[in-house]
Amino acid sequence: MPTLTLDNDNSFNLDATLSCGQVFRWDRRPDGWWYGVVKDRVMKIRQDVNTLTYSGATAPFVRHYFSLDLDLDAILASIDRDTAVHAAIRKNRGLRLIRQPAWECTVSYICSTNSNIPTIRRRIASIAEKFGEPVEFENTVYYTFPHPEAISGSGENGLTECRLGYREPYVFGTSCSVTDPECWERRIRTLPYEEARRELMKLNGIGPKAADCILLFAFQKYEAFPVDVWIRRIMQECYLPGLATDSPLSNREYDSIRTFAREHFGEYCGWAQEYLYAGREG
Give the C-alpha separation, 161 to 151, whole Å: 13
Output 203 or 218, the one with its CB closest to DNA.
203
Interface contacts to DNA, rule CB under 7 A: 20-22, 109, 112-120, 122, 163-166, 170, 201, 203-211, 213, 226, 228-231, 247-248, 250-252, 273-274, 277, 282
- φ, ψ dihedrals at 3, nearest 5°: -130, 165
To DNA, the closest distance from the beta carbon of 67 in angstroms equals 14
Give the C-alpha separation, 10 to 3, whole Å: 17
To DNA, the closest distance from the beta carbon of 226 in angstroms equals 4
Query: Angle CA(134)–CA(136)–CA(138) in degrees, nearest 5?
Result: 155
Buried b (16+ CB within 10 A) or exposed e, 113-127: beeeeeebbebbbbb
129, 162 contact by CB (below 8 A): no
To DNA, the closest distance from the beta carbon of 41 in angstroms equals 23
157, 112 contact by CB (below 8 A): no
218, 106 contact by CB (below 8 A): yes
To DNA, the closest distance from the beta carbon of 165 in angstroms equals 3
Please provide the size of the chain in residues.
282
Output 109 or 184, the one with its CB closest to DNA.
109
Output 78 or 113, the one with its CB closest to DNA.
113
Strands 51-55 and 41-48: antiparallel
Q: Is 168 exposed, middle or buried (0-12, 13-18, 19+ CB in 10 A)?
A: buried
To DNA, the closest distance from the beta carbon of 243 in angstroms equals 12
Return the half-sphere exposure (C-beta side, CA atoms, 13 A cut-off) of residue 84. Answer: 20
To DNA, the closest distance from the beta carbon of 7 in angstroms equals 26
Output 46 or 197, the one with its CB closest to DNA.
197
Give the C-alpha separation, 73 to 8, whole Å: 11
To DNA, the closest distance from the beta carbon of 117 in angstroms equals 4
Q: Is the sign of the CA dihedral 71, 17, 93, 77 positive or negative?
A: positive
Output 116 or 139, the one with its CB closest to DNA.
116
Output 59 or 244, the one with its CB closest to DNA.
244
Output 6 or 120, the one with its CB closest to DNA.
120
